[in-house]
Amino acid sequence: MSTSTKVQTQSHRRNLSGEVDRLLTDLGVSRSRYGDGELTVHTPVTGEIIGHVRLTNASESVAAIEAAYAAFRAWRLVPAPKRGELVRLLGEELRANKEALGRLVSIEVGKITSEGLGEVQEMIDICDFAVGHSRQLYGLTIATERAEHRMVESWHPLGVTGIISAFNFPVAVWAWNAALALVCGNSIVWKPSEKTPLTALATEALLGRAMKRFREEGGTAPDGLSSVLLSGRDIGELLVDHPKVALISATGSTAMGRAVGPKLAKRFARAILELGGNNAAIITPTADLDLTLRGVAFAAMGTAGQRCTTLRRLFVHESVYDTFVPRLKRAYASVTVGDPLEAGTLVGPLIDGSAYRAMQSTLEAAKGLGGIVHGGERLPIEGAAEAYYVRPALVEMPSQTGPVGHETFAPILYILKYNDFDAVLELHNAVPQGLSSSIFTNDLREAETFLSARGSDCGIANVNIGPSGAEIGGAFGGEKETGGGRESGSDSWKAYMRRATNTINFGRTLPLAQGVRFDVV
């Protein structure tokens, strides 16, 4: 066993299910919601069972959507600043319960403690962001060519917002959408990943507390305003196909997006698709290698490589390759992998066995194409025989071929050497995904070129920081097979509303636009 691997104790293993029970109780979730049901919930920390959840069936799901539609018709009439008050109260509940919910995220997903807490902080931040927007849902006054006329745009609530989230950010992605959807006057129906139902139940309970306070303070919040569908793909498809769901915000794989997108287009529903990423960084000759090492290490190994924005391709200039890559290998060999609930751990487990098998299959494919693999092996953790801990893998590749062009949701970083800046920009963009990217350089021309129209083709492009760790103030999302959707950011609220153009004639004549004449007697 590696000396840098955290040791999991048997007593800790025995106590996790009990701790989950206490956390859920404290967060306001009834034991009946997680104590019995056909869906068995495992923690990736040890592999042990931490809950049993009853799945939502088709008739219950349809009823929830119908209730959400009825709630939308009432909620849209509540003034936006009043709607913002509900979201403000949700933010208060999240602040008061940050430690408990963050701990539950760490247990159910396997995130290290700071990342579990950080995810809840994202929820708090988006609530603050959305509350501000509740008084800033601005429409423009538009110059008109007609005398004694005024032309303006108005923004109105859109309808039922369906949220489909993935396991790796089980609560933050819901909050990104829910906070804005609620202040915009929409109701919400959430289908979380079947791998992370417990955090969804906890989040639902906290919103319920906020709603109770909102009503007690005189606010009007209709029943059915928010609901959670604990289910598999079949109920996700029902949500996508239902004609009363105006918008689907779906986070997941590109394959999922290919299935969801055409269905929504067929019925002319709106879509926010946050799909795969194959994110790259370029290390130039002028890069600060100390800063770069820290940036690369977090971006590539954080969350055990299970972020949409994880760094997966690293282009290193030949002049610094032999200096930087050995340092990176040492960091990979020494990083603390183990129990994410213990202080000092930096890399926790993969979510499950299928993720581990996909990682191993990918590494074998890379070897077959001449890749030199460092790390990637499964690590034995005492008391966690059914969990999947791995040493993050570095793969020195001769070219960008095979698995380098695909996203594997695991800590695999491909390293490629380059010697020409224009050529490496082409390689950087020569993958079908376009989520996040970065360059490490102290050359102003290289930095600005990377951010220019001929530089990175991704939705997120950074200088001297890695591609992961986005803030809610900036629009999150990407291009190409990443789906084109955006969450958060300055004008993200517009995705949750419909726009109307209004022209008001306050004169006594009827001039027509473009000089058209239509005189009748």
Among 274, 407, 481, 487, the active-site one is 274
CB neighbour list of residue 357: distance below 8 Å, 6 or more residues apart: none
Distance between CA atoms of residues 71 and 88, nearest Å: 20
Quote the CA–CA distance of 391 and 412 in Å, as a whole number. 10
Residue at 221: amino acid letter = A
Q: Is 290 helix (H, G, I), strand (E, B) or coil?
A: helix
Distance CA 102, CA 241 (A): 33
For residue 156, the cross-strand partners are 498
User: Nearest Cα to 127, choosing from 162, 160, 93, 175?
Assistant: 175
Residue with tokens 């946050």: 274
User: Which residues make Cβ contacts (< 8 Å) with residue 130, sequence separation at least 6?
Assistant: 84, 87, 179, 180, 182, 183, 493
**278 near 266, Cβ under 8 Å?**
no
Secondary structure (DSSP) of 183-217: HTT-EEEEE--TT-HHHHHHHHHHHHHHHHHHHHT
**Residue 208 structure tokens:** 């319920």
505 SS3 class:
strand
The rounded distance, in Å, linking the Cα atoms of 372 and 387 is: 26
274 carries an active-site annotation? yes
Q: What angle do CA 196, 200, 204 make, to 5 degrees?
A: 170
Tokens of 254: 């590109």
Token representation of residue 10: 């048997």
d(CA 497, CA 369): 49
CA distances from 238 to 38, 115, 161, 188, 229 (A): 20, 33, 14, 15, 11
Q: 281: which strand partners?
A: 314, 438
Cα–Cα distance, 472 to 463 (Å, whole number): 18
| Cβ-contact 462, 469 below 8 angstroms | no
Task: Write out the catalytic residue numbers.
Answer: 274
